[in-house]
Structure 1
């Protein structure tokens, strides 16, 4: 189930939209579609849209795979303001993702472990940052990229 709280508008001052969803595989394309519609409505540059769509797919997919049943619901938020776009995926799952170091090497034989590294590299290429925030309600992985 996907619940939507939408306060979207053109991101001139500060815009924010978030969704609450069950951490199930069907949520990945649903959330991705909502993020795309929001970013397109805000007229975000294509390279930033592409980066945030990859990021939301990876981050929501990670919640589904790693936090799944024990996470309760997850929250996905997108905001714009002050020349920055921010994407946040939050859940209450027990595990904490390990953000890769900038020079992380991935085992070429491994079947997983590349998603966060891809998101981090793409975010850095755009002049942004990837961060992990732990709070009383769980944890959030946040992507922040500049927009002009």
Structure 2
């Protein structure tokens, strides 16, 4: 069985914990292991925070889409801001910490908590797209567990 859902959220700080709680509720209902659910929720919080802080003024909303297909959860956070710099920029996971004025380490944290991550821009209209995948572990008796 597979499921997917999509949310359109206001670019407000209060939307970040809302997105996180909705994801955790879905993971709990599906029977996903608590540690995996927590890692996904932290990565989602970082991606949503990035959209809230950096999406510019072109739109007051951003979108979160999540799916579970087989044993993989894919989450995509899309905004309509200026996007990532050209040239295939990827955040450093290790190395010296950046100065706080230059931003946090949220994108590196997403990369560290995911099995696969892609940072890119929407074609044509601009805006950042963060997509990350995580292989799921299931609790005993999970509703969506693939045998």
The residue that corresponds to 2:30 in the other structure is 42
Higher strand share: 1
Q: Could you tell me how far 1:68 is from its partner in structure 2?
A: 4.4
Structure 1's consecutive aligned runs of 4 or more residues displaced over 6 angstroms after TM superposition are none
Deviations 1:83-130 (A, max 9, x none): 2111111111113174314545323x435321111121122xxxx111
Structure with the greater relative contact order (CA < 8 A, sep ≥ 6): 1 or 2?
2
2:132 paired residue among 129, 133, 143: 143
- Look up the match of 2:117: 130
In the alignment, which of 73, 91, 99 is matched to residue 90 of structure 2? Answer: 99
Q: Does 1:62 align with 2:50?
A: yes
Q: What runs of 5+ residues in structure 2 fail to find an aligned partner?
A: 138-147
Counterparts of 1:28 and 1:82 in 2: how far apart (Å)? 27
Unaligned runs of 5+ in 1: 1-12
